[in-house]
Amino acid sequence: MAVLAQQIVNGLVLGALIGLIALGYTMVYGIIQLINFAHGEVFMVGAFGAHFLARYVLPEDVRWYVALPAMCLAAVAVSIGVAVAMERLAYRPLIGAHRLAPLITALGVSILLQEVVRVFYPGATAPLAFPRMFVEGHLAIGPVTILWTGVLALAVAPLLAAALHIYVERSRLGRAMRATAQDPDTARLMGISPNRVTLATFVIGAGLAGVGAVLYGIHYTQIDTAIGFQNGIFAFTAAVLGGIGSIRGAMLGAFCIGLVKSLAGQYVWGGVQYDYVWVFVLLILVLMFRPQGFLGRPEGMRA
């Protein structure tokens, strides 16, 4: 029982972190029907941005309540910077092109970013140690222990997702986003600039990925240039599983994936070596019976 409970907790923490990336996938797809496969890399560069700040800028004896917000700001800034450049340089010129063109471009951008970081970031050819925070002690509930970093991830991710949901439902920009998602041409007739909405969507997704990157780094205490690709695939799967375009769906899908990966790693034949296989088995099973995902709408229902 203790092991089961522990694995559930571990899975939920992983799910929370993946969820923060999945929100970016689901937002961008919801609004411009682009699967931004380079979004995982936006997460990755955020982690390196935070690492750079902590390793080369902040003094060594800096307190966590200074370091953590500062690292989050650095990660968010780097992630947003890269996402904006990507939208401007790679995707915007392809507006109106065949829909495979941006998809292939996204894959190219993904490889480019991984390689640029690997080649130019000092020491990035091997995994880098991430600053350790709150390592002393943990939260214990009966036999289950959660690192404070895990508690933080479990608190922050749903909070940010809820804030995003409210923002999209209530704000003027959120309304413009929903209008563009439903009917881009009519949204333009309302005076909404599609470029501005798209850019805002990339910025929001990148900001969430940046926060996720810091939470990921301090929890797993190690980063490398492949974390974007690996977690990006899981996050994309989470977004599809939950119903791509849906904010709540992305979080739900991410928690499911975290749980399946964690439990399969513990209990299913093959162990952690094969845990990710079961994530995709779950995806296939769900899509067979519910192609639109948990909370998505069937194709053709869109406005």
Partner 1 sequence: MLEVNGLAVAYGAIEAVKEVSFTVAEGQIVCLIGANGAGKSTTLKTVSGLLRPRRGEILLWGRPIHRLPAHAVLAAGIAHCPEGRRLFTDMSVEENLLLGAHLRKDRDIAADMARVYELFPVLGQRRTQRAGLFSGGEQQMLAIGRAMMARPKLIMFDEPTMGLSPIMIQQIMQTIAVLRSQGATVLMVEQNALAALTLADQGYVIDLGRTTLSGPGDQLLADPRVHEAYLG
Q: What is the Cα–Cα distance from 47 to 52, expressed in whole angstroms?
A: 9
The single residue among 125, 171, 186, 222 that binds partner 1, judged by CB under 8 A, is: 186
Residue 138 sits in the site that holds partner 1 (CB under 8 A)? no
Shortest separation between residue 182's beta carbon and partner 1, angstroms: 5
- Least Å distance, CB 91 to partner 1, is 18
Residue 57 binding partner 1, by CB under 8 A:
no
Shortest Å, Cβ 95 to partner 1: 12
Say whether residue 126 binds partner 1 (CB under 8 A). no
The Cα 281–Cα 275 span in angstroms is 10
Under the binding rule (CB under 8 A), the answer on residue 165 touching partner 1 is: no
Residue 74, exposed/middle/buried by CB under 10 A (0-12, 13-18, 19+)? buried
Taking CB under 8 A as the criterion, the residue among 34, 68, 161, 192 binding partner 1 is 192
User: From CA 199, how far away is CA 143, in angstroms rounded?
Assistant: 46
Please identify which residue in 63, 172, 289, 299 interacts with partner 1, judged by CB under 8 A: 172
- With beta carbons less than 8 A apart as the criterion, state whether 277 and 230 touch: no
Q: Which is nearer to partner 1, 188 or 248 (CB)?
A: 188
d(CA 252, CA 110): 25
Spatial contact of 114 and 222, defined as CB atoms under 8 Å apart = no
The three-class DSSP label of residue 136 is coil
171 binds partner 1 (CB under 8 A): no
222 is a contact residue toward partner 1 (CB under 8 A): no
Give the DSSP letter of residue 140: E
Measured from the CB atom, the residue of 195 and 222 that comes closer to partner 1 is 195
What residues line the site for partner 1 (CB under 8 A)? 172, 175-176, 178-179, 182-183, 185-193, 303
